C-alpha cells in the first residue's frame, strides 16, 4: 500500500469538492445532497416561507424594492425555488445560488448560479448548514500532552498523528477548543471563521444568517464531531 498522507482539511476538500467529490459528481450524488440527508429546506415548505418573510423584512428595513437573496451552499436550488414561490407580491427578488456543483436542469431562469457570493449586493445572505461543510483540520493530543495535526492515509483513510499544531491554528484552539488530555480531539474551526467573514463581507448592506449545528466552548465533545451520511444513514 502506498503511504501517502495528508491533513484532514485537504482530505475532506478532495472528498467533498474535488472533481469526483460528493458535492460535484453527478455519478456519486445524482440527486444532490437531498439524496443522502435532509435539512429544514427539504423537510417542509414552512422553512422557505419563513425565509421569504425574513427577506421581505430585510428589504423593508433597507427601504428597497429590489432585494438580493444569496443562498450559500444552494444544493440543487430547493430553498431558492421555495422562497421565490412564497415571496410577497410587489417585492422583486434577485436570487443567487452559490454552489460548486453545476447548475441543475430546469432551475428557475431568474436564479443566478455562481461559485462565490456576489459582491456588493444588498439583501439577505442565507447559509443553511453550509459552515459544517467547510473543511477543517483535526487535532489530537498525544501522550505528552501536545496537540498534533491528525493526518489521513489517502488509500484507506487510516490515521496517524503529524506535527504539532502551531501559529494561528494553535491560537484558535487555545481560545475556542482548548485541549489537554491525551486522546482528546478537536476540529480547528478557523477556516470556517474566515469563510463566514468572507461571505458576510460580500454584502453591501443587509442581513447575513448562518443556520447550523453548534456547541459552546465549555461543552465540546471530547472526540470531535465529524459525521458523514450516505443513503440516509
CB distance 8 to 135 below 8 Å: yes
Q: Are 55 and 96 in contact (CB under 8 A)?
A: no
* Residue 138 cell numbers, joined: 483535526
Distance CA 54, CA 121 (A): 17
Q: Grid coordinates representing 194?
A: 474566515
Q: Given 3.30.470.30, 1.10.3720.10, 3.40.109.10, 3.40.50.150, which CATH number is that of 33-133+193-214?
A: 3.40.50.150
The model's pLDDT over 83-116, given as tens digits with 9 standing for 90+, comes to: 999 999 999 999 999 998 889 999 999 999 999 9
pLDDT at 228 exceeding the cut of 80: no
| For residue 150, pLDDT beyond 80 | yes
The yes-or-no verdict on residue 201 having pLDDT over 60 is: yes
Distance of CA 91 to the CA centre of its chain: 28
> What phi and psi values does residue 141 have, to the nearest 5 degrees?
-85, 130
Average pLDDT estimate for 130-137: 94
**pLDDT of 218:** 87
- Where do the domains of the chain lie? 5-20+137-186, 33-133+193-214
pLDDT higher than threshold 60 for residue 2:
no
131 neighbors 196 (Cβ within 8 angstroms)? yes
DSSP class of residue 216 equals: -
Residue 84 parent element (H or E): helix 78-86
- Coil, strand or helix: which one is 170? helix
CA distance 225 to 214: 10
Please count the CA atoms within 13 angstroms of the CA of 194 that sit on its side-chain side. Answer: 10
Is the entire prediction scored with pTM above 0.85? yes
pLDDT at 159: 95
Return all residues near 74 (Cβ < 8 A) that are at least 6 apart.
80, 97, 98, 99, 113
- Give kind and range of the element (H or E) at residue 200: helix 190-201
For residue 28, what pLDDT is reported?
A: 65
Mean pLDDT of the chain: 91
Position 29 scores a pLDDT of 64
Amino acid at each position: 500500500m502506498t503511504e501517502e498522507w495528508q491533513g484532514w482539511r485537504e482530505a475532506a476538500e478532495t472528498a467533498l469538492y474535488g472533481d469526483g467529490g460528493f458535492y460535484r459528481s453527478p455519478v456519486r450524488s445524482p440527486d444532490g445532497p437531498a439524496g443522502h440527508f435532509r435539512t429544514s429546506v427539504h423537510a417542509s415548505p414552512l422553512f422557505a416561507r419563513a425565509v421569504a418573510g425574513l427577506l421581505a423584512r430585510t428589504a423593508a428595513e433597507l427601504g428597497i424594492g429590489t432585494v438580493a437573496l444569496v443562498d450559500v451552499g444552494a444544493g440543487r436550488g430547493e430553498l431558492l425555488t421555495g422562497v421565490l414561490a412564497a415571496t410577497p407580491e410587489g417585492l422583486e427578488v434577485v436570487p443567487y445560488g452559490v454552489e460548486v456543483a453545476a447548475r441543475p436542469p430546469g432551475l428557475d431562469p431568474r436564479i443566478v448560479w455562481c461559485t462565490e457570493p456576489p459582491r456588493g449586493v444588498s439583501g439577505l445572505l442565507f447559509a443553511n448548514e453550509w459552515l459544517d461543510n467547510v473543511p477543517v483540520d483535526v487535532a489530537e493530543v498525544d501522550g505528552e500532552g501536545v496537540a498534533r495535526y491528525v493526518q489521513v492515509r489517502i488509500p484507506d483513510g487510516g490515521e496517524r498523528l503529524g506535527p504539532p499544531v502551531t501559529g494561528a491554528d494553535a491560537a484558535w484552539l487555545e481560545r475556542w477548543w482548548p485541549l489537554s488530555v491525551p486522546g482528546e480531539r478537536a476540529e480547528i474551526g478557523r477556516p470556517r471563521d474566515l469563510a463566514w467573514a468572507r461571505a458576510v463581507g460580500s454584502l453591501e448592506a443587509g442581513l447575513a444568517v448562518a443556520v447550523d449545528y453548534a456547541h459552546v466552548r465549555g461543552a465540546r465533545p471530547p472526540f470531535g464531531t465529524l459525521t458523514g451520511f450516505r443513503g440516509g444513514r
